[in-house]
Homo-oligomer: A and B are copies of this chain.
Amino acid sequence: MKIHMDLKEHSYDILVQRGILAHAGEHLHLDRRVLVVTDSGVPAAYAQTIAGQCKEAVILTVEQGEGSKSLETFGKLLETMLAHGFSRKDCVVAVGGGVVGDLSGFAASAYMRGIDFYNIPTTLLSQIDSSIGGKTAINFGGVKNIVGAFYQPKMVLIDPDLLSTLPPRQISNGLAEAVKMALTSDRVLFELFENEEIGANLDEIIIRSLQIKKSVVEQDEKEAGLRKILNFGHTIGHGIESSGNMAELYHGECVALGLIPMCAGAIRPRVIRVLEKCGLYNLIAFDWDKITQAAFHDKKADGDAVTVTLVPEIGSFELRKMKCIEVIDMAKACFEG
């Protein structure tokens, strides 16, 4: 399955195919110096499989976790390329989840003002979400993704076989973004979640999610408008995630909670049933003060009002400018009403 991202001179293909990792060299131009970036949580065999197909590979394994999205690790990637004499014609391959992809993409964008970047996402979340869109970044001064570049990969390879080593909770974490996209844009995908066995339909879920995201990003590469719908559920979700006392929840689990209040009351029971089926309906003791504070430190907050995405019916959306406090009240009413 090939999905073509049409972004003029930044166009590229996403190939979705089981087993493609072992054949990456047939699709990527690896006959040069290649920095293979991975993290300590990814099976080492994945990066080695890529390295074995390169003319001259250097594998750099960063620590698993957000801590690696730092200016220091960014410097380490650049240092490694410099030490191995990388030229403008060499490239970077990310083999890992969102952290590895974001970090490697930013380093590729900056080394010699931009060398080729390939992304091979290994988690469901990154296969569905962060491998598309060209947003690369590191964290800085305690703020997520505050420093980075819009930089498109030359190609993305998605191998659903790599998901077999993921714990179930990591699969759920990725499914949250797929449910999010189904709710705003794809009734058929939502019904698949309702009616079919999820584990047996991962390829279909990945492909349909990518197609939604493709369509949104193509229309709004630099995040000027429509792309806001990709943040559906993220205002409250981000507030929960950053409120400090929810360290035990994953990003997808927070987003899942965040999208419920944004759906019309009539469809909420269906939404909750799907989230339960995905392992994503984990109610918590909401601390609304902390959530409010964390949600609206968000860089997308615009003065006292924010634009949120609402879902009136499955597969449709509405962008609405609301006061921050109204958004919180809506969430409170949903969970406590």
Using a CB–CB cutoff of 8 Å, the interface residues on chain A facing chain B are 71, 75, 78-79, 82-83, 87-88, 109-114, 135-137, 140-141, 143, 146-150, 299
Cα separation A82 to B299 with both chains bound (whole Å): 11
* B-side contacts of A149, CB under 8 Å: 109-110, 113-114, 149
Cα separation A71 to B112 with both chains bound (whole Å): 14
* B-side contacts of A71, CB under 8 Å: 71, 75
Cα separation A49 to B87 with both chains bound (whole Å): 42
Tell whether, in the assembled complex, residue B78 and residue A299 are in contact, meaning their CB atoms are under 8 Å apart.
no
Known interface pairs A75-B71, A88-B299, A299-B87; A82-B112 also in contact (CB < 8 Å): no
Cα separation A71 to B110 with both chains bound (whole Å): 12
Query: 14 more A-B contacts (CB under 8 A) besides A79-B140, A110-B149?
Result: A71-B71, A78-B141, A78-B147, A79-B141, A82-B140, A82-B146, A111-B146, A112-B147, A113-B135, A113-B136, A113-B148, A113-B150, A114-B149, A149-B149
Of the A-B pairs whose beta carbons lie under 8 Å apart in the complex, a sample of 29, sorted by A's number, is A71-B71, A71-B75, A75-B140, A78-B140, A78-B141, A78-B146, A78-B147, A79-B140, A79-B141, A82-B140, A82-B141, A83-B141, A87-B299, A109-B149, A110-B110, A110-B149, A111-B146, A111-B147, A112-B146, A112-B147, A112-B299, A113-B135, A113-B136, A113-B137, A113-B148, A113-B149, A114-B149, A114-B150, A149-B149
Residue of B nearest to A134 (CB): B113
Which of A109, A136, A147, A148: most chain B Cβ within 10 A?
A147
* B-side contacts of A147, CB under 8 Å: 78, 110-112
Cα separation A143 to B147 with both chains bound (whole Å): 23
Cα separation A109 to B79 with both chains bound (whole Å): 21
Cα separation A110 to B138 with both chains bound (whole Å): 10
Cα separation A113 to B221 with both chains bound (whole Å): 12
Tell whether, in the assembled complex, residue A148 and residue B75 are in contact, meaning their CB atoms are under 8 Å apart.
no
Residue of B nearest to A141 (CB): B82
Residue of B nearest to A82 (CB): B141
Cα separation A155 to B111 with both chains bound (whole Å): 25
Cα separation A83 to B141 with both chains bound (whole Å): 9
* B-side contacts of A148, CB under 8 Å: 110, 113
A109 CB → nearest B CB, Å = 7
A43 CB → nearest B CB, Å = 31
A306 CB → nearest B CB, Å = 13
Cα separation A299 to B78 with both chains bound (whole Å): 15
Cα separation A147 to B82 with both chains bound (whole Å): 10
Cα separation A112 to B83 with both chains bound (whole Å): 29
Tell whether, in the assembled complex, residue A143 and residue B87 are in contact, meaning their CB atoms are under 8 Å apart.
no
Cα separation A88 to B299 with both chains bound (whole Å): 8
A269 CB → nearest B CB, Å = 38
Cα separation A295 to B280 with both chains bound (whole Å): 59
* B-side contacts of A141, CB under 8 Å: 78-79, 82-83
